[in-house]
Amino acid sequence: MLPEQITPGLLVFAAMGGIAALAALGVILFPNAVRSALCLVLNFFVLAGLYFTLGAELLGITQIVVYTGAIMVLFLFVIMLLNLAAPQQLNEKGDIKKPLGVVMGLGMLALILAQLQVAIGKDFGPRSEANFGTPEVVGRTLFTLYAFPLEIVGILLVVGIVGSILLAKRKI
Amino acid sequence: MRGILQILTEEWTTSLPGWVQALLRALLLVLPLLILVPGLIWLERRLLSWMQDRIGPNRVGPKGLLQPIADGVKLFFKEDITPSHIDRFIYFIAPAIALFPAFAIGGTLPWGPLYWLTPVADVNIGILYMLAISSLGVYGVVLAGYGSDNKYSLMGGLRASAQLISYELAMGMSLAAIVLATGSLKMTSIVYLQQQPLWDTVNILQNWFIFTPFGFISAVIFLICMVAETNRAPFDLPEAENELIAGYHTEYSSMKFAVFFMGEYAAMFVFSGVFAAIFLGGYNLLPIRWEVLSELAPSLAGFCRFMEWMNVNFSWLWFLGKCAFGICVYIWIRATLPRLRYDQLMSLGWRSLLPIAVTNFMLVALWMVVSRVYGPANGWISYFVGAIIFAIGYSNVTSASRRAKGDTLEQRGITMTDGGARRTIEVIK
Amino acid sequence: MQGVPLFAYIALALFMFTVGTVGVIIRRNPIVIFMCVELMLNAVNLTFLAFARYMPAMALQHNAAQRAQSQMAGQMMVIFVMAVAAAEVAVGLGIIMAIYRLRENIDIDELNLLKG
């Protein structure tokens, strides 16, 4: 389970993983929604780096384009739009739910961790081919073996676009 | 062909220890941006004033060349005012974020055919990387707008985010057409493919993408989108001074304002470089294949060899020249076009650029398939037929929607008479 | 990467997923809840990619086609998750804006009209 020796790769992972974990905590701990969003941006950015360390370079860059570049900008846009309209709306008050939620989360963490101890033995190793994440390989698989799911996802995206336009229109 | 400089630098650089090489390449990234940005400011002010029939700054130094330094000194020594109710962390981090993308993209610009002339790394996914990092540029603007605790700044940031999302799409699609045609995302291999014969037929000229029909359309769309992404006139709505004071940097002063300023100019420079690399043949001086020309005209062989030598050894200079050209286009556009209205900005991005870019992308696919199966001539015919069908359909759809919305000139009560000499404009409602 | 065990990636993903879950429970701002959902999706993405890269030793006995499939499947899932997340964000933020326009209030605890 634990690594035998400390390698440079492990140190890099520790740094990136630490930033990602702290940023994830920041998302739920900052009362201010913009700061939460910023933490999430940082988290996604570091995750892209982790994807690179796993060898999935296309997905790493797609992560930056899709998540930090588009989705989080959209989030910030909406937060700021609501902030402009009603600055006091987005502040939160304390609640009984909070400690309960934390306890439940910790319980879930412990349960899954106990399962993982059994499930992941030592025999897992980085055994994929070195080029398994390059655009060529991913594209070839995506457009042959996974062509049908890809089309379905395309339809889903179109439906999403039409739906969000309908939601945003004041009068149809 | 190995030039003198090439041999010198190759042997010289490979004999150095690794960290010195890394340092040199980092300097290659940072120095052009840092040295050129003050020069760009001078160039913009002088060129703009020349275009507007003014004189411009001409007091400090010869031709006013030292004006940026004077401005810089002034900015450094100005009082740094920090508003009281701001979100301090976000307020302070925003200028740094605004500066980051320009340098990050600058690391992949190909300054020449040699590997060390690409400052950081010639990444395999160069174009995607460029798109990804350029989309991060908006965070500086948005966070500055939010952190300043000022409604005008906030509106500037809002506008910037909406603008970026809208134009990022068209930019990505216009580049997708080029990627489809080249089959590569790597900057240097895109430049290399532009050294092949023009349209695969004209042996003597290079196939710069701006000379091909699909490349020209992509280039125009990319140019518009890059002006929009760098928040330059006529797309400078986030800092529209007649509506929003100064937009997102209203509350910034002294150094922090200077950093925003620098970020904008560095981004201009870097985007010009990307444009040059993808559409203008990268680091090649002229779109002429010298070795083919020297075979065709043996009397010019010496001249051709000289030009080839120049082309290889001073590649960084030609690339710099193309960047300068791109910046002049930026300034030219700024001097020529009035700022767009917000709804015009949105409808230009979503209703014009995006459909045209997507259609271009699909037509490139059609062209590739047809020219592979039925030969290049049929490929071009199918491309143009597709383009004409699209143009007719597009103009029908837009005019129909305009008629349905009541947006024609007649319906708005505007009658244009001949030559625009007499206009009767009635405002309805 | 050299020397990093699979468990490290999975543990990080698990931590992010838990944080996301807790966030969904304890926060009242629907936008932050939404962001926590995104965090959970990304945690799962990381798991997919980690398992695409790391294989058990017995995978070496499979033939090349099987191995190629098993290392691509994770990446494909990540691509689909990203696409679905993008669609979800567009629609979800649209819904939040629509609710705000209707009620002038987006506190998740006060949006209880469907209680019956």
pLDDT, tens digit, 9 for 90 and up, residues C2-40: 677 788 888 889 889 999 988 888 877 888 888 899 999
Whether B308 is in a domain gets the answer: yes
User: What's the pLDDT at B164?
Assistant: 84
Range of the structural domain that residue B76 is part of: 71-374
Whether B65 is in a domain gets the answer: no
ipTM score of complex: 0.85
Total domain count, chain B: 1
pLDDT digits (tens, 9 = 90+) for B2-41: 555 555 566 666 666 777 777 777 777 777 777 888 888 8
Structure tokens at B216: 């020209």
pLDDT over 50 at B116, yes or no:
yes
Residues of B in contact with A83 (CB under 8 A): 146, 154
CA distance A5 to chain B (A): 27
pLDDT digits (tens, 9 = 90+) for B381-401: 888 888 888 888 888 888 887
Higher-scoring residue by pLDDT: B116, A75 = A75
A9: helix, strand or coil? helix
Residues in chain A predicted with pLDDT less than 70, given as ranges, are: 1-4, 84-95, 121-122, 170-172
On average, the pLDDT of chain C sits at: 82
CB contact under 8 Å between C3 and A9, yes or no, is yes
pLDDT over 50 at B326, yes or no:
yes
Q: Judged by CB atoms within 8 Å, which residues 31-50 of C form the interface with A?
A: 31-32, 34-36, 38-39, 42, 45-46, 49-50
Mean pLDDT within B38-54: 86
Whether domain A7-91 has CATH 1.20.120.1200: the reply is yes
Assess contact for B172 and B143: CB atoms under 8 A: no
B97: helix, strand or coil? helix
Cis peptide, bond prior to residue B234, ω within 30 of zero: yes
CA distance A50 to chain B (A): 16
Terminal alpha carbon distance of chain C: 54
d(CA A67, CA A34): 16
A112: helix, strand or coil? helix
Whether B49 is in a domain gets the answer: no
pLDDT digits (tens, 9 = 90+) for A14-60: 888 899 999 998 888 888 788 888 889 999 999 998 888 888 888 88
Whether B278 is in a domain gets the answer: yes
Whether B203 is in a domain gets the answer: yes
pLDDT digits (tens, 9 = 90+) for B236-290: 877 777 777 777 777 787 788 888 888 888 888 889 988 988 888 878 887 777 7
Whether B405 is in a domain gets the answer: no
Higher-scoring residue by pLDDT: B259, B299 = B259
Whether B61 is in a domain gets the answer: no
CB contact under 8 Å between B132 and A64, yes or no, is yes
In the block, residue with structure tokens 């950015």: A45
Fold held by C6-115: Helix Hairpins (1.10.287)
Whether B390 is in a domain gets the answer: no
* Cα A39 from chain centre: 11
Chains touching chain C, criterion 3+ CB pairs below 8 Å: A
